[in-house]
A and B are shown apart, each in its own frame.
Chain A
Amino acid sequence: MPAATEPAPHDPPRGQADRPLDADARRIAFVGNPNVGKTTLFNKLAGLRAQTSNFPGTTQEARLALDRTGTLPPGSRFIDLPGTYSLTLDTGEARVTRGTLDGSTAPRGEQVEAPSAVCVVLDACDLPRGFLLLGEVLRTRLPMVVAINMVDSARRRGIRGDEEELARRLGCEVVVCSGRSGEGVEALRAALGRARIPIDGPRGSQEALEQWADELAIDIFAAPESDARQSLTDRFDRAFTHPLSGLTIFAAVMTLLFWSIFKLATYPMDWIDGAFGWLAGAVGGALGDGLISQLLADGIIAGVGATAVFLPQIVLLFLLIALIEDTGYLARAAFVMDRVMRPFGLNGHAFVPLLSSHACALPGIMACRGIPDRRDRLAAILVAPFMSCTARIPVYVLLVSLLFPGRPGVQALAFTGCYAIGAIAGLLSSLVIRRTILRGRSRPMLLELPEYRPPQLGKSIRLALERGMVFLKKAGTVILAISIVLWWLGSFPQGSDAPSPDAPTTQTAPAETLAQDAPTDSDDIAPAPATYLERLGSIAQPIFAPLGYDRQLTVGVLASFAAREVFVTTMAVTVLGDEDADIADEGVLRALSSADRADGSPLFDTPTTWSLLVYFILAMQCLPTLAVTAREAGGVRWAFVQLGWMSGLAWVLAAVTYQSLSLIGAS
Chain B
Amino acid sequence: MPQSETRVSTNDQPARDAASPPAGRRLTTLARGHSAYFVGVEGDPADAASLRALGLRPNCKIVVRRLGEPSIIEVGGCCCGSGRRLGIARPLADRVLVADAPLSADRCDPA
Contact = CB atoms under 8 A, between A and B. Distances in A.
Interface residues on A, range: 35 or more
Interface residues of B, number: 50
Interface in A336-394: 338-339, 342, 347-348, 372
Q: 10 nearest interchain CB pairs?
A: A223-B82, A226-B76, A444-B92, A444-B89, A225-B77, A217-B79, A129-B55, A449-B85, A444-B91, A445-B89
Given A238-B66, A331-B87, A223 B54 contact: no
Contacts of B15: none
B19 interface: no
B46 A225 contact: no
Interface of A: 85-86, 89, 125-129, 132, 154, 157, 159-162, 165, 210, 214, 217-230, 233-234, 237-238, 241, 243, 331-332, 334-335, 338-339, 342, 347-348, 372, 443-449, 451
B111 interface: no
Choose among B55, B65, B70, B88 the residue with the greatest number of A CB atoms under 10 Å from its CB: B70
A96 B80 CA distance: 28
Choose among A243, A347, A444, A446 the residue with the greatest number of B CB atoms under 10 Å from its CB: A446
Contacts of B93: 444
A223 B53 contact: no
Given A446-B54, A446-B86, A226 B74 contact: yes
Contact of B78 (A161, A222, A237): A222
Given A221-B79, A448-B54, 11 more contacts: A86-B53, A160-B2, A162-B1, A217-B80, A223-B81, A224-B82, A226-B10, A237-B72, A238-B66, A445-B87, A449-B72
29 contacts: A125-B81, A128-B80, A157-B82, A157-B83, A210-B52, A218-B78, A218-B79, A218-B107, A222-B1, A222-B78, A222-B79, A224-B5, A225-B8, A225-B77, A226-B35, A226-B77, A226-B83, A230-B33, A243-B69, A335-B87, A444-B91, A444-B92, A445-B88, A445-B89, A446-B47, A446-B50, A446-B54, A448-B54, A451-B83
B8 to A, nearest CB: 6
A225 B84 contact: no
A228 B32 CA distance: 9
Interface in B54-108: 54-55, 57, 61-63, 65-66, 69-70, 72, 74-93, 107-108
A514 B84 CA distance: 61
Contacts of A219: 1
A228 B72 contact: no
Contact of A446 (B5, B51, B63, B66): B51
A164 to B, nearest CB: 10
A241 B92 contact: no
A225 B86 contact: no
Nearest to A130: B55
B42 to A, nearest CB: 12
B81 A348 contact: no
Contacts of B55: 126, 128-129
Nearest to A161: B1
B63 A228 contact: yes
A445 B107 contact: no
Contacts of A447: 86-87
Contacts of A445: 70, 87-89, 92
Choose among B2, B72, B107 the residue with the greatest number of A CB atoms under 10 Å from its CB: B72
A321 B1 CA distance: 40
B63 A339 contact: no
A135 B86 CA distance: 23
A123 B62 CA distance: 19
A228 B89 contact: no
B50 to A, nearest CB: 5
Contact of B34 (A154, A228, A372): A228
A228 B92 contact: no
B77 A126 contact: no
A225 B9 contact: yes
Contacts of B76: 223-226
Contacts of A338: 69-70, 89
Contacts of B92: 444-446
A72 to B, nearest CB: 33
Nearest to B79: A217
A127 B55 CA distance: 10
Given A335-B70, A445-B92, A128 B81 contact: yes
A339 B87 CA distance: 13
Given A225-B8, A372-B50, A446-B86, A237 B65 contact: yes
Given A128-B79, A234-B65, A445-B92, A214 B86 contact: no
